[in-house]
């Protein structure tokens, strides 16, 4: 596809309407859509400079993955420049930088947005031209620095493509999914707003945070590249702790330190309700030592886990069976001074934060999600305790 045809295809599939572009920052004489695109152009030039000055397998791999999902992705949807020749030149530069023809990737990506299989035919001139540039670069590297090409460049390129494949797979593994973490979206120019991007592919990357749409299973706490971690069941890890005395001692130690820090900010509670305390009831074991005079109640929706928890605890801990939400917990077990919510809560954790069912709430949450008065449990466990005072 030649540059003119590429632009025509983009207009036919993802051209922004007047209302979509009217809220984007004022354009410049050079840039077509937003002055912020100058930042992406500058970072693309910086990426190329770093590859020339300090090439390495990690830099090649991570740079390819990052650029493909930020600069390159935004460019194929909304080419940055007003002048077609400038867009064609930048597309050629990105092809050399990333090691694959941008016009070919654009055609494949647009087919993805249309929900159609990509067709290799007919072959377009831009594919051939940009492909020839990439092959010429590879030929020069092989001739001038064969060891570098085979031991550094090519392994880094393959690893980068692997990262890109994982990114694309987990962005759609259970339907189109967004990630709203600020750090990832700052580093990747709002790439985490994937549901929003698919809803209107012509929306400029700076406008995506203003149209947040994903909820429930359409949103993930993990960026796409790390979303495979969702396959690791927290229940499975909990069961592993039950069979390892060393892990039991470790999790009790780190949780006791964190809970002691959280409780130091409170008056000693008289009644504590622990949600989901089955399997290895670490919170109840720790609180039995820290506040021996408090009445403890464990609520779990599975009777088999309640029976397993009984084996770890003395008869002074009460048990109740049921599915807990912030709204029904007082009805289920009565009033409490302190409610403790697990990391692997079945249901909406946001409801507990929004409407605490007790004067004091402690939520086991991920390390990167501090709320209220927060205490780190363990960096290795990626976990913290958030204390919320109603």
Write down the pLDDT at residue 351.
85
**What tokens were used for 69?**
């999902």
Tally the C-alpha atoms within 13 A of residue 66's C-alpha that lie toward its C-beta. Answer: 18
Write down the pLDDT at residue 7.
37
Pairing of strands 338-341, 360-366: parallel
DSSP single-letter state for residue 353: H
Per-residue pLDDT of 291-340, as tens digits, reads: 999 999 999 888 888 888 888 887 778 898 888 888 888 888 888 999 99
Write down the pLDDT at residue 1.
40
Per-residue pLDDT of 241-271, as tens digits, reads: 777 889 889 989 999 999 999 999 888 899 9
Exposure class string for 102-123: b at 16+ Cβ within 10 A, else e: bbbbbbebbeeeeeeeeeeeee
Residues 203 and 20 sit within 8 Å (Cβ to Cβ): yes
Q: Residue 215 pLDDT > 80, yes or no? A: no
Question: What is the location of CATH 3.40.50.150 in the chain?
Answer: 236-389
Residues 386 and 365 sit within 8 Å (Cβ to Cβ): yes
Q: Domain 236-389 is classified in which CATH homologous superfamily?
A: Vaccinia Virus protein VP39 (3.40.50.150)
Q: Worst-scoring range by mean pLDDT, 42-51, 140-149, 184-193, 325-334?
A: 325-334
Alpha carbon distance 374, 382 (integer Å): 13
Provide mean pLDDT across the span 179-203.
93
Mean of the per-residue pLDDT values of the chain: 86
Residues 277 and 309 sit within 8 Å (Cβ to Cβ): yes
């Amino acid at each position: 596809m030649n540059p003119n045809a590429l632009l025509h295809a983009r207009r036919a599939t993802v051209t922004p309407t007047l209302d979509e572009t009217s809220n984007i920052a004022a354009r410049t004489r050079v840039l077509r859509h937003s002055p912020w695109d100058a930042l992406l152009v500058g970072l693309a030039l910086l990426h190329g400079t770093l590859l020339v000055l300090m090439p390495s397998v990690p830099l090649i791999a991570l740079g390819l993955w990052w650029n493909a999902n930020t600069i390159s992705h935004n460019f194929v949807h909304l080419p940055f420049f007003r002048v077609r020749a400038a867009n064609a030149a930048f597309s050629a530069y990105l092809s050399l930088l990333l090691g694959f023809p941008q016009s070919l990737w654009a055609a494949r990506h647009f087919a993805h947005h249309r929900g159609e299989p990509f067709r290799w035919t007919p072959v377009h001139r831009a594919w051939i031209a940009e492909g020839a540039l990439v092959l010429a670069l590879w030929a020069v590297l092989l001739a001038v620095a064969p060891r570098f090409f085979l031991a550094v460049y090519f392994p880094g390129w393959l690893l980068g493509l692997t990262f890109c494949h994982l990114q694309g797979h987990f962005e759609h593994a259970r339907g189109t999914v967004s990630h709203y973490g600020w750090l990832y979206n700052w580093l990747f120019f709002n790439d985490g707003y994937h549901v929003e991007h698919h809803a209107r592919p012509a929306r400029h990357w700076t406008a995506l945070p203003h149209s947040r749409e994903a909820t429930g299973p359409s949103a993930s706490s993990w960026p796409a590249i790390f979303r495979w971690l969702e396959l690791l069941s927290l229940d499975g890890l909990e069961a592993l702790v039950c069979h390892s005395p060393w892990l039991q001692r470790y999790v009790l130690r780190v949780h006791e330190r964190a809970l002691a820090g959280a409780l130091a900010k409170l008056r000693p509670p008289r009644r504590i309700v622990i949600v989901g305390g089955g399997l290895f009831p670490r919170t109840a074991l720790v609180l039995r030592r820290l506040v021996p005079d408090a009445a403890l109640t464990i609520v779990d929706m599975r009777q088999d886990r309640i029976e397993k928890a009984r084996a770890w605890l003395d008869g002074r801990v009460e048990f109740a069976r049921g599915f807990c939400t912030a709204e029904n917990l007082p009805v289920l077990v009565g009033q409490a001074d302190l409610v403790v919510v697990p990391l692997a809560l079945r249901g909406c954790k946001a409801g507990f934060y929004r409407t605490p069912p007790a004067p004091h709430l402690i939520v086991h949450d991920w390390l990167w999600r501090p709320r209220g008065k927060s205490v780190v449990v363990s960096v290795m466990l990626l976990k913290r305790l958030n204390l919320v005072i109603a």
